[in-house]
């Protein structure tokens, strides 16, 4: 996705590839540290983090579904949820 925006610029492409490399390296480091972190957190801490991340994932899913429905219906968010206010000039 980001590499398509930087196809004409070698510097931009190298920045995108470097950022991807940093992300891969960070993921590797966090995966290496997962066992010691699990020992520190214990089963209760792991359960708490799992539930919090589950709620976050559910909230993101609802937001994506609402955004998709609004795009499908082509309604602006204020009009879709009835939060748009009427101007006094429309009232007789």
**Predicted pLDDT at 11:** 84
Give tens-digit pLDDT for 42-60: 999 999 999 999 999 999 9
In a domain, 52, yes or no: yes
pLDDT < 70 positions in the chain: 1-8, 75-92
Per-residue pLDDT, 44: 96
Domain count, the chain: 2
**DSSP result, the chain:** -HHHHTTT-HHHHHHHHHHHHHHHHHHHHHHHTHHHHHHHHHHHHHHHHHHHHHHHHHHHHHHHHHHHHHHHHT--HHHHTT-PPPPGGG--
Q: Is residue 26 part of a domain?
A: yes
* In a shared domain, residues 46 and 77: yes
What is this structure's pTM? 0.55
**The domain containing residue 28 runs over which residues?**
1-32
Identify whether 49 is part of a domain: yes
**In a domain? residue 91:** no
- Residue 20 placed within a domain: yes
- Same domain membership, residue 48 and residue 28: no
């Amino acid at each position: 996705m980001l590499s398509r925006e930087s196809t004409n610029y070698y510097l931009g492409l190298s920045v995108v590839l470097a950022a991807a490399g940093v992300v891969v390296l960070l993921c590797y480091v966090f995966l290496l540290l997962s066992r010691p972190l699990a020992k520190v957190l214990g089963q209760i801490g792991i359960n708490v983090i799992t539930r919090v991340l589950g709620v976050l994932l559910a909230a993101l899913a609802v937001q994506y579904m609402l955004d998709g429905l609004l795009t499908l219906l082509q309604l602006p968010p204020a009009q879709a949820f009835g939060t748009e206010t009427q101007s006094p000039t429309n009232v007789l």
